[in-house]
Amino acid sequence: MPLTEQQLEEFDQAGYLFFPNAFSAGETQVLRQAAVDVYQMQREEVWRESSGVARTAFAAHTYNDAFRRLGAHPRLINPVMQLLDGPVYMHQYKVNAKAAFDGEVWQWHQDYGTWARDDLMPEPRAMNIAVFLDDVTAANGPLIFLPGSHKQGVVAAGHDLETTSYPLWTLDRDTVTELYQQGGCVAPTGDAGSMIVFSSLLVHASPPNISPMDRTIVYLSLCHVDNHIRQFKRPEWVAHRDFTPIKPLADDTLAELID
């Protein structure tokens, strides 16, 4: 289903859209098992917390069939093509874990800020989609957004190489406070299978998970094919170099894998 005028207006104002229960329990279970499988792999694409538990699995669509199918799922690809007004390619694919008790923080940042500085992506004609593989609650490290912050363009940031295992261009406290005062702060929560589409300029973060509940989210970063990156200093499995337009698969592509 195409996004409605009301949804397009909501996205323009807030910088994100939330879709509860976008995927069925069966489809979500297929993806949850896929996450378990990839986290057990000893690959350079699988990064770990200081505790040793998995933090993120990059490019999982290249070595797992369920994630390959998700990466071309029409429920994800079609809304982004509508928002970006044209074909898209996969700039980045991450399966992010926040393991119970051990999931660490993701600092305040804009994704496009990193893509512009590290990958020379020309414009913020790129979008993120987050798919919940676990129930996301206020207690287990939800995404936190500053609504409307995407209207500020690229915000000044510093390169944090120490806080976590993943280097990130992060915003300072004064900047985050100012943006919060302008638009507030929200943490979308929902059942496993829910989905968020959000602007690559939207300022966001997530706190540590000290709860006994796991929290795994798949992130697809999709970019208009005309806006592909121009610099290739990061590994290909972090910032992809295949700019082929994604062709959406059939809507039942994940359902085919349900036992």
Question: What is the rounded average pLDDT of the residues 43-71?
Answer: 90
User: Where does the pLDDT of residue 162 fall: very low under 50, low under 70, confident under 90, or very high at 90 and above?
Assistant: low
Question: What is the rounded average pLDDT of the residues 25-32?
Answer: 98
**pTM for the structure as a whole:** 0.93
Give me the domain span that covers residue 244: 5-257
Q: Name the nearest CA neighbour of 242 among 258, 251, 229.
A: 229
Residue 52 has pLDDT above 80, yes or no: no
pLDDT score, position 259: 84
- The mean predicted confidence, pLDDT, of the chain is 93
For the stretch 221-259, pLDDT in tens is 999 999 999 999 999 999 999 999 999 999 999 999 998
Structurally, the chain folds into a number of domains equal to: 1
Contacts of 124 (CB under 8 A, 6+ apart): 112, 116, 153, 154, 199, 200, 201
Q: Which domain CATH number covers 91?
A: 2.60.120.620
